[in-house]
Amino acid sequence: MKQIILILLAVFLFTTAFAEELSSPNGKMKLTFNLENGVPVYQLALDGHPIIKPSKLGLELKDADDLMTGFSIENTLTTTFDETWKPVWGESSTIRNHYNELEVILKQASTQREMILRFRVFDDGLGFRYEFPEQNNLIYFVVKAEHSQFAMAGDHTAYWIPGDYDTQEYDYTTSKLSEIRALMERAITPNASQTPISETAVQTALMMKTDDGYYINLHEAALKDYSCMHLELDDKNMIFESVLTPDALGNMAYMQAPCSTPWRTIIAGKNAGDILLSNITLNLNEPCAYENADWIKPVKYVGVWWEMITGKSTWSYTNLPSVKLGETDYSKTTPNGTHAANTKHVKEYIDFAAKHGFDAVLVEGWNEGWEDWFGKSKDYVFDFVTPYPDFDVDELQAYAKSKNVKLMMHHETSGSVRNYERHLDTAYQFMVDHSYNSVKSGYVGDIIPRGEYHYGQWMVNHYLYALKKAGDYKIMVNAHEAVRPTGLCRTYPNLIGNESARGTEYEAFGGNHPDHTTILPFTRLLGGPMDYTPGIFEPDVSQYNPNNNSHVNTTIARQLALYVTMYSPLQMAADLPETYNKHLDAFQFIEDVAIDWDKTLVLEAEPGDYITYARKAKNSDNWFVGRTNDEEKRTSEISFDFLDPDVKYIATVYADAKDANYLTNPKAYEISKYVVNSKSKLKQVCAPGGGYAISIIKAENKDELKSLKKL
């Protein structure tokens, strides 16, 4: 009996007390892993402060024993990795990828199956994933649920949007975790596409702040061949658990070993800027898949878009439904007179782009079929090569080339994904033949076939398929309504933009809250750049469409700031040329601002309140600063100590006027010029819903400094 007790005690100690510990390279972030009665459990601390309390890991399988308990540790391996890599484009010209790794090889005695848990501990957080090596007892399997837990150490303040399998287009809510359930219904706007998963499910990337001032972010990286993760909150115990997006049958993922899940990421820091500057999401993705990526270039563009979003113009050529795609005799129809994508009008946009040094012009509504799609047929599909009669593809190709401007293609799939895949080669070849090198794709509406969601494994695989296919044709992709990005732009840098959040278009549908752009960089943008489409100079939408009384909740100065604070290598000047022509002094900043960077700094930041970035343009001595503000009047105080010492610069400050206000006086701005150096400081008042933008250009001529004040 004594021997039996000793054996049982030994087993108990092995399965409960044994723990693996691994610290980050700087020693401040500490992972602890152990088995509790055969269940994998991890926890994470920063400087001894709990970030993640003990949390369970495991997968529930369909028609098979679960991978959740009954494990023993077969082996553990620790390694260190340190590299510096150069992104094709990005917020900095070099990125360090430095982590310590723990590989835990687990074996389930009852099934003899193996599962590996791989942890990578960075100075600013943790990434972990499940891996399934090749083995006889686990080949094909279906994931019924993933039970990855993230146990919080308190009732943190969270910046959240409801969990939803089909859309991220929500305004953010700021609340305590314990308040999410009560506020969930209020977080839903009158939008038929919004269907929250539950009363306590939220989306990643989820941003939080603890009562003692730590910042925590939960997300995922390298989402491939798996479904998108949401988080369900147990608000009694403050434990988040992963919730995967199901397919039409209710299954979460179909797997074949050897395989792995995406990485689950936890980013943490004592400063808000630690979250904004983290590269964990990118570093957990594979290196660039293209041996030569010279064809991938950042793009600054204008386009026939905002006038259609506001209702000034239309996508469709006629108000009558077509009979059959490619067979409608449009000579027997009457044009509606508001079709924006016509040859003459697009030439005007090309002229404006050429005059102001823009790279491209986006044209939506150029192809047949929009009449049917807008409410006439739920199953309508496009062919992506048949233009309306008033859109001359060849003439516009030649005209754009003569102006050194590219045209940007638009592919609205209408959610009919298999149709799009059937046409992809033809559509991409059409682009190549007509000198289009970038495409904005859209997935508005329910996914066809029925029952599939935008963020399920089936659609995740489609987005990557379309992206890889575009790479075959050297085409860059800006996907709207797609799954939120998870750093795949490192591997496939032709993914130069996504929407995947509530963008500027909602300003024409009723408005975004002023704090929206002070939260997005902490959430949506952690996975990759967003095509936010800033640059709206006319906040009164009724000036374009008398029947639209929406108001853009911003000042002009803040719209300029967004080109710095909302990072993207794809930046649109979204307003109409005639409006910009009324404010060319302010528009100068949009002309000047870079879209690719050597270095990025966070000068001030607090989620939901304000963000101030400073960025150094790639291969340049010039810097740009942007500050976005919430609905409160605030004063920003920054130092220019990031500038090269002993060098003088000219700083042009685009700021809110003293009486500016996003509701009552949004177009009031002031432009001032100063001489600055590394010792200069700025104290700038930001209006409610306002901000400022600064271009800092190295002075080449001493004479130009004589008339300017020193800052």
Give catalytic residue positions: 505
Phi-psi map region of 534: left, alpha, beta (phi>0 left; psi -120 to 50 alpha): beta
The strand order across the sheet containing 59-61 reads: 59-61, 140-146, 253-256
Tokens of residue 452, six digits: 């599939």
697 exposed, middle or buried (CB, 10 Å; 0-12, 13-18, 19+)?
A: middle
Parallel, antiparallel, or unpaired: how do β-strands 229-234 and 215-221 relate?
unpaired
In whole angstroms, give the CA distance from residue 391 to residue 351.
17
The beta strand positions in 291-437, using DSSP E, are: 299-304, 360-363, 406-412
Q: What is the DSSP string of 393-408?
A: HHHHHHHHHHTT-EEE
d(CA 405, CA 350): 7
Instruction: Return all residues near 35 (Cβ < 8 A) that are at least 6 apart.
Output: 14, 15, 16, 18, 41, 71, 72, 73
Q: Report the C-alpha gap between 408 and 393 in whole angstroms.
A: 12
**Are 688 and 632 in contact, with CB atoms under 8 Å apart?**
yes
CA end-to-end distance (rounded Å), the chain: 84
Which 3-state string (H, E, C) describes 32-84? EEEEECCEEEEEEEECCEEEEEEEECCEEECCCCCECCCEEEEEEEEEEEEEE
Calpha distance 120→103 (Å, rounded) = 9
**The tokens of 185 are what?**
């219904």
424 within 8 A of 471, measured Cβ to Cβ: no
Q: Are 644 and 674 contacting, i.e. CB atoms less than 8 angstroms apart?
A: no
Residue 27 to residues 31, 102, 122, 191, Cα–Cα distance (Å): 10, 15, 9, 47
Which contiguous run of DSSP H or E holds residue 423? helix 417-433
Contact 322, 373 (CB under 8 A): no
Beta-carbon count within 10 A of 188 CB: 15
| 3-state secondary structure labels for all residues of 13-45 | HHHHHCEEEEECCCCCEEEEEEEECCEEEEEEE
Tell me the residue ranges of DSSP E strands in 134-223. 140-146, 149-151, 157-160, 173-176, 201-203, 206-209, 215-221
Full DSSP string of 273-295: HHHHT--HHHHTSPPPS-S--TT
Structure tokens belonging to residue 113:
């199956």
Which residues lie across from 300 on neighbouring strands?
571
* Closest C-alpha among 676, 675, 659 to residue 667: 659
**Closest to 636 in 3D by CA, of 689, 683, 691:** 683
Q: Do residues 668 and 659 lie in contact, with contact meaning Cβ atoms separated by under 8 Å?
A: yes
- Asked if 131 contacts 59 with a C-beta cutoff of 8 angstroms, the reply is no
The tally of CA atoms less than 13 A away on the side-chain side of residue 395 is 11
- Beta-carbon count within 10 A of 135 CB: 13
